[in-house]
Every structure is written in structure tokens, then in C-alpha cells.
Amino acid sequence: MFKRFLSAYSAANDARPFVTKCVTAGALMAVGDMLCQSIEKKIDYNENKTDAGYDWARIRHFGFYGLILNGPMLYATYQHILPAIAPGTSGMQLFKKIMFTQTALTLTSVTAFYICLPLI
């Protein structure tokens, strides 16, 4: 079953890489938030054990953010910006790619997250 899923995902990624990666980012962010909520319920820092269900609005917001903002930003960075800034795989090119992703991309991504998520 997993092999079939992987094959279908690979075919979708070959046919429509932008859409596939955006949907993947949205799905991963939504699933990640579900996992966070599960952990929060188990730890429950406030000692107020509640059996409330998932916060579906929050999960939807994370998924939407991944689909609409994070996915396209990461796609553009790794498919277009990094190859233009630092083509190749030499040590210096790798250093440039790491510096770009750890400074400009991180700053942009974190800022967009904190500004946009409350607006969604």
C-alpha cells in the first residue's frame, strides 16, 4: 500500500510539482498540528485534564498556511532562488545555500507565519 502511495505521489510530483509540493506542505502542517494538540492533551500544562476534541479551526489554519504560503515559498526557494544564487554543489555553493536558508528564508518564513496565521 505504501509503495502504491509513493508511486502515485512521485507521478503527481513529476506531472505537477508546484501543486504537489503545496498540497504536501499543507497536509504536513495540518497533521503536525494534530500531533501537537495530541501531545498538549497528554501533558496538559494547566493540570485541567479535558477530553475536548481537536481544535479543527486551528488545524485548518495551519493546513491553509502550508498550502497557500509556506508551500509556494519553499518551492520558489528550492527550485528557483537557490539555483540562481548558488549553482552547483561545491563547498562554497553549499555554504551560500545554507546561509541563505538560515537567514533570509528563515526570517521571511517565521515573520510570515506570525503575521499571517492570526489573519487566516
pTM for the model stands at 0.83
DSSP element (H, E) containing 51 = none
Residue position matching grid coordinates 485548518: 60
Residue 113 pLDDT class (50, 70, 90 cuts): very high
The distance of Cα 61 from the centroid of its chain, to the nearest Å, equals 12
Q: What are phi and psi of 52, to 5 degrees?
A: -60, 150
Q: Measured between alpha carbons, how far is residue 11 from residues 1, 21, 98 in Å?
A: 15, 12, 29
* Residues 6 or more apart in contact with residue 86 via CB below 8 angstroms: 92, 93, 94, 96, 97, 100
Give residue-wise pLDDT tens across range 58-109. 999 999 999 999 999 999 999 999 999 999 999 999 999 999 999 999 999 9
The range of the structural domain enclosing residue 27 comes to 2-119
Domains identified in the chain, total number? 1
Instruction: Kindly give the residue spans of alpha helices, DSSP state H, lying in 16-101.
Output: 17-43, 56-65, 71-76, 82-85, 91-100
Give residue-wise pLDDT tens across range 29-58. 999 999 999 998 888 666 665 667 899 999
